[in-house]
Copies of this chain bind each other. A is one copy, B any other.
Amino acid sequence: MNRQRKIISVIGSGQATPEESRLAEEVGRELAKQQAILVCGGLGGVMEAACRGAKAEGGLTIGILPGDNRETANPNVQIPIITGIGYARNASVAKTGEAVIAIGGSYGTLSEIAFALQSGIPVIGLGTWSLYRNNQRDMSIVQVGTASEAVGEAIRLAKT
């Protein structure tokens, strides 16, 4: 394996809607087809669906877990990273990606988006947060409509 493979983080809620799960699985598949390594928070919902898609295409999946126990990783995580630092691990999930794909998501996802943008890491959004700062739209999140657009933009924009 070489460092030329892109590392892309997929973030979103641990309780996904069926539509979010479908999108996440497709994102995972597409990432694997592009030889990208998938990083996520290692738990359920969007994270699990993305790992499932990636694994189905022979991709490599990494889960950066909040807790102390590798058994909390979803079954499609191949390499569990045990942080034990709780939600502060969101910073690691965001920053380990060369780009981040956000699918839906609640406040944990929002913190990851914030950490990525703070580090200048591109964020691609699929039905996720949009941001206004002091009543002005912040256009930093690249909003797209399909899984394949999300992966295409993530690969194209990935910070090297």
Interface of A toward B, CB cutoff 8 Å: 1-3, 7, 37, 60, 62, 64, 68, 78-88, 90-92, 95-96, 104-108, 110-111, 113-115, 117-119, 127-135
B80 near A85 with CB under 8 A, answer no
B134 near A127 with CB under 8 A, answer yes
A1 near B60 with CB under 8 A, answer yes
Report the minimum CB–CB distance from A71 to chain B (whole Å).
10
B107 near A95 with CB under 8 A, answer no
4 nearest A-B residue pairs (beta carbon) = A111-B114, A107-B118, A110-B114, A85-B85
Identical chains in the assembly: 4
Closest to A121 in B: B82
B118 near A96 with CB under 8 A, answer no
Report the minimum CB–CB distance from A7 to chain B (whole Å).
7
How far is it, in angstroms, between the C-alpha of A131 and the C-alpha of B101 when the chains are bound? 18
When the two chains form the complex, which single residue of B7, B95, B131 contacts A68, counting CB atoms closer than 8 Å? B95
How far is it, in angstroms, between the C-alpha of A83 and the C-alpha of B130 when the chains are bound? 25
